[in-house]
Amino acid sequence: MGKNLYVGNLSFDTSEEGLRGQFEQYGTVTSAKIITDRETGRSRGFGFVEMDTAGGEASIQALNGKNIDGRDLKVNEAKPREPRDNNRW
């Protein structure tokens, strides 16, 4: 089982390939996804990287607070997604 990492404070210019490249230095990356706005398709400034456990730990230590594309990244283990209440009305 690998680690799912939250990556925040991404530059709007960072690509998924660039994100993957930063994390591949520390281990095997299974997936790298930048979250985009549904309406505009523009980056929302955060994403998720899934990778092997040892690489995930090394990435958190090495990349949390590191300046990439002019922004200091926030990297930590992603929290499980909470169920959404779609019956709000």
Q: What pLDDT, in 10s, does the model give residues 40-61?
A: 999 999 999 999 999 999 999 9
Polymer length in residues for the chain:
89
Read off the DSSP letter of residue 27.
S
What is the pTM assigned to this prediction?
0.88
Structural domains in the chain, CATH included, are: 3-75 (3.30.70.330)
Instruction: With a cut of 70, say whether residue 1 has pLDDT above it.
Output: no
Q: Which helix (H) or strand (E) holds 57?
A: helix 53-63
**Distance (Å, rounded) from C-alpha 81 to C-alpha 2?**
17
